[in-house]
């Protein structure tokens, strides 16, 4: 299943980034359904789809932002993977306020659903993200 989805990743990413809301929405819904079905097994696909989903959260269209944000949280809760943290850290100091907020809320969602052993292992990166988000983005 993972191999099949990986082979379709390029067209799916193009669909996710489409300016047509129906195309983008269908692709985002497909990613959400894949996460729901695969759960933690979705982790090898995180590097393919997660950056595009986070990137949509920086757009000005509330429709795109709302759909992408919902899918981001589905990925976080579904995979509970520490491999999401570097992406959240990277986007936590983006110029878009809505994307910074999604990244901060994503870290909180991860901390609420992840196993304590994962939180302990990745405490340093979590502390860095919290420290970054505690300051204003312009500083």
Judge if pTM exceeds 0.85.
yes
- Residue 68 has what pLDDT? 96
- Residue 13 has what pLDDT? 96
HSE (side-chain half, CA atoms, 13 Å) at 82? 12
Judge contact between 84 and 75, C-beta under 8 A.
Answer: yes
Higher-confidence residue of 58 and 130: namely 58
Domains assigned to the chain: 2-134 (1.25.10.10)
- Residue 122 has what pLDDT? 83
């Amino acid at each position: 299943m993972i191999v099949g989805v990986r082979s379709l990743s390029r067209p799916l990413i193009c669909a996710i980034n489409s300016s047509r809301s129906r195309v983008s929405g269908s692709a985002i819904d497909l990613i959400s359904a894949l996460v729901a079905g695969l759960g933690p097994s979705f982790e090898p696909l995180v590097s393919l789809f997660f950056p595009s989903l986070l990137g949509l959260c920086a757009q000005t269209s509330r429709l795109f932002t709302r759909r992408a944000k919902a899918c981001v949280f589905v990925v976080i809760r579904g995979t509970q993977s520490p491999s999401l943290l570097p992406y959240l850290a990277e986007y936590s100091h983006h110029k878009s306020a809505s994307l910074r907020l999604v990244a901060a809320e994503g870290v909180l969602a991860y901390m609420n659903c992840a196993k304590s052993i994962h939180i302990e292992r990745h405490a340093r990166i979590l502390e860095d993200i919290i420290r970054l988000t505690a300051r204003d983005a312009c500083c």
